[in-house]
Chains A and B, each alone.
Chain A
Amino acid sequence: GIQVEQSPPDLILQEGANSTLRCNFSDSVNNLQWFHQNPWGQLINLFYIPSGTKQNGRLSATTVATERYSLLYISSSQTTDSGVYFCAVEGMDSSYKLIFGSGTRLLVRP
């Protein structure tokens, strides 16, 4: 089945710094979503981005489907950005099922 790898596994930033999180996937996908898991466990939708580029405030994401990777950019990080960021994909042959990466744990220090 499709494999999803995220890097780096852990990231520590000073407030105000920028960061780039990466997601590599091993096969073509129908769906790619980025999530932020808050300290209480809820997965918050950040982007639905199977291809192209999107921006939402300080966050932006780019997926290059032909090269099978996606990037999540966080600019001017804030302490509230702390948490775990997940990339999840729905493969062409795995309908209705999201395959998650292992996540990037981000800590933003004041």
Chain B
Amino acid sequence: KAGVTQTPRYLIKTRGQQVTLSCSPISGHRSVSWYQQTPGQGLQFLFEYFSETQRNKGNFPGRFSGRQFSNSRSEMNVSTLELGDSALYLCASSLSEGVGAKNIQYFGAGTRLSVL
């Protein structure tokens, strides 16, 4: 079974531009989560989607948004990029049977975004 696939692997953008990252979950997984990793803040939760609905959101500005499609693939978008948005963006998928259920998250290889 294929793992979580993230595209692209690397991106270079300039301040003010916008960017869209893509994540394809493991087949059969309906939950997709996004995380940002920076040297200063570590790994931080961005948002989680299940069946095209956002169920939880982290403390990030509105410039960060996401969506999930009917095939469970997800995209996240960052508008008006700032230098501080340079980070490794990781996507995870899980079966997510419900609150309290065994909810193992599997991560993709990430998209490394550099903002110049």
A98 to B91, CA, bound (A): 12
Chain B interface SS verdict (over half): strand
Q: Interface residues, chain A, CB within 8 Å of chain B?
A: 30-31, 33, 35, 40-45, 48, 86, 88, 90, 92, 94-100, 102-103
| Residues B45 and A41 in contact, CB atoms below 8 Å apart | no
For the complex, count residues of B whose C-beta is within 8 A of A.
29
Residue of A nearest to B89 (CB): A41
| Residues B105 and A98 in contact, CB atoms below 8 Å apart | yes
| Residues A100 and B107 in contact, CB atoms below 8 Å apart | no
Does B90 sit at the interface, judged by CB under 8 A? yes
| Residues B48 and A96 in contact, CB atoms below 8 Å apart | yes
Residues of A within 8 A of B45 (CB): 97-99
Interface hit among B12-20, B70-78, B96-104: B96-104
Minimum distance in angstroms from B5 CB to a CB of chain A: 12
Given contacts A35-B107, A41-B112, A102-B42, contact A95 B102 (CB under 8 A): no
Given contacts A42-B109, A42-B110, contact A31 B56 (CB under 8 A): no
10 cross-chain pairs, A with B, having the tightest CB-CB distances, nearest first: A100-B43, A43-B107, A96-B48, A42-B109, A48-B104, A97-B45, A41-B110, A95-B99, A96-B56, A97-B56
Does B23 sit at the interface, judged by CB under 8 A? no
Given contacts A96-B55, A96-B56, contact A45 B103 (CB under 8 A): no
A44 to B108, CA, bound (A): 9
Option from A33, A41, A92, A96 in Cβ contact (under 8 Å) with B104 = A33
| Residues A95 and B104 in contact, CB atoms below 8 Å apart | no
| Residues A40 and B103 in contact, CB atoms below 8 Å apart | no
A98 to B33, CA, bound (A): 9
Contacting A at CB under 8 A, from B6-47, are 31, 33, 35, 37, 42-45
